Amino acid sequence: YFFFFFLQIVTREPICDHPTDCDFVHCLVNWILPYAQRYVYKSHAAKYSQLKKSNFDFLRQLKITVVDKLFYLNVINRCGLKSKKQTEIDCLHQDHILYCTPRSDPHSIFMELSCLLFSEAPDLGFANFLHIITTMAESGSTEEQIDAFILNSQKLPKLNVAEECIWSLPST
């Protein structure tokens, strides 16, 4: 509760330097979204229902920006007071924009996606699940092997595509 309250008071304001090609991050996020959807559908049913009622607006609003360097300032929301210290980071989301650098690792990207999906509260289980899926794919596992793993060890069945639109990013 304190962490969520703290997030309401202090936010991170991104400071970006030199936008660059975002194809890799866009492809990674787009590829992982159906797996993320299965996780949210099964593990966070109330949140999934809320997202569904909004017609999954967060997907249409999500923008991915890759920059050479990324920093943030802490901002106290009530009075707009900003810290003077800029802290360099590799990944951050703010106002439906996912900021990444070429050095952003998938797990950091997935943690920021979890914050976006779960109202600023990071979900380590969500990020770890997506990271496992990514690692399996990088190691040469087929889609069938990944699906078997998800079903058997994670107990996350495939979604009924007749009832659910599979998540994807809008075309860029």
Q: Within a domain: residue 54?
A: yes
Evaluated on CA atoms 156, 157, 158, 162, the torsion sign reads: negative
Does some domain include residue 138? yes
pLDDT, tens digit, 9 for 90 and up, residues 36-95: 999 999 999 999 999 999 999 989 999 999 999 998 887 776 776 777 888 888 999 888
Question: Which of 6-10, 39-43, 157-161 has the highest average model confidence (pLDDT)?
Answer: 39-43
| Mean pLDDT (whole number) for 149-164 | 91
In sequence order, what DSSP letters do the residues of 126-169 get, joined into one string? HHHHHHHHHHHHHTT--HHHHHHHHHHTS--PPP-TTTSPPP-P
Give pLDDT, residue 8. 56
CA 119 → CA 95, 134, 166, distances in Å? Answer: 11, 24, 21
Instruction: List CB contacts of 94: < 8 A, sequence separation 6 or more.
Output: 11, 12, 13, 14
Confidence of residue 2 (pLDDT cuts 50, 70, 90): very low
Report the amino acid identity of residue 133.
I
Domain span at residue 25 reads 8-152
Higher pLDDT among residues 87 and 27, named by residue: 27
Distances in whole angstroms, Cα of residue 124 to Cα of each of 49, 67, 75, 88: 21, 25, 24, 22
Structure tokens at 111: 């943690």
Residue 6: pLDDT above 70?
Answer: no
Average per-residue pLDDT in the chain?
87
Is residue 121 pLDDT above 70, yes or no? yes
Q: How many residues does the chain have?
A: 172
Q: In this structure, is residue 157 part of a structural domain?
A: no
Q: Are the C-beta atoms of residues 6 and 55 closer than 8 Å to each other?
A: no
Number of domains in the chain: 1
